[in-house]
Amino acid sequence: MNLEKVEVVPSRMLRVRIPQEQGVRSVFCRTESGTAGTGKPMPKKLESEEGEKYHFAVGSDHAGFSLKERIKEYLCGEGRAVLDVGIHTLRSVGTGPVAEKVGRLVAKGKCEKGILVCGTGIGMAMGANKVFGIRAALCYNQFTASYAKRHNDANVICLGARVLGEELAIECVRTWLREEFLRDKYAQRLAYLDVIENHSCRNKLAKKGE
């Protein structure tokens, strides 16, 4: 990964700027010293190398931009390494490209989890779930955030900035991260998602061959 610039910003996070053509603008991580007001020790700063992994990939459209920034701030305050795929302005954009970027980063193992924000969360969920291996859940309260993880092992959550207030959105993220997948019968149910993906792939290939 080629870096353009590394600078320390006032919030005590390290901002790493990445070439714009890669579709990713900033990587945020905590610095090695201090607590940035959280009372928690900071992890070591990220080493910017190929093969590097991040805790989260985050992305939004224009409607979700402000909430995405707030969620990113919360995650960094918790010592999480965050890869922001954009957008980085309030320019109107569709949800598809952003949802795909976050989905692919998670599916490839580059990022452990993903968080997507748009007006309602619906468009992001629909887009992310088109990426094989993604289990994106639309969350609109703590209950749905809890069961997104407990029963469905969601690796991406989608939030609606026009539906949720900031504090409830942060609580959804916090709840999702706190919960654990219950496995057992739920793991068996999730396994069938792979069957659906395989069926869809075969059907698409069959149609191309007609």
pLDDT in tens, the chain (210 residues): 333 333 323 333 334 333 333 455 545 553 223 333 334 443 433 443 446 899 999 999 999 999 999 999 999 999 999 999 999 999 999 999 999 999 999 999 999 999 999 999 999 999 999 999 999 999 999 999 999 999 999 999 999 999 999 999 999 999 999 999 998 888 888 888 888 888 888 887 887 776
Which sequence positions are flagged as catalytic? 118, 151
- Which pLDDT score is estimated for 10? 34
For the record, the structure tokens of 151 come out as: 């029963």
- Which pLDDT score is estimated for 207? 79
Among 151, 209, 140, 210, smallest CA distance to 179 is for 151
- Which pLDDT score is estimated for 206? 80
Q: Domain extents for the chain? A: 5-179, 186-210
Q: Which fold has domain 5-179?
A: Ribose 5-phosphate Isomerase B; Chain: A, (3.40.1400)
- Which pLDDT score is estimated for 18? 35
- Which pLDDT score is estimated for 203? 84
> What is the reported pTM?
0.76
- Which pLDDT score is estimated for 63? 98
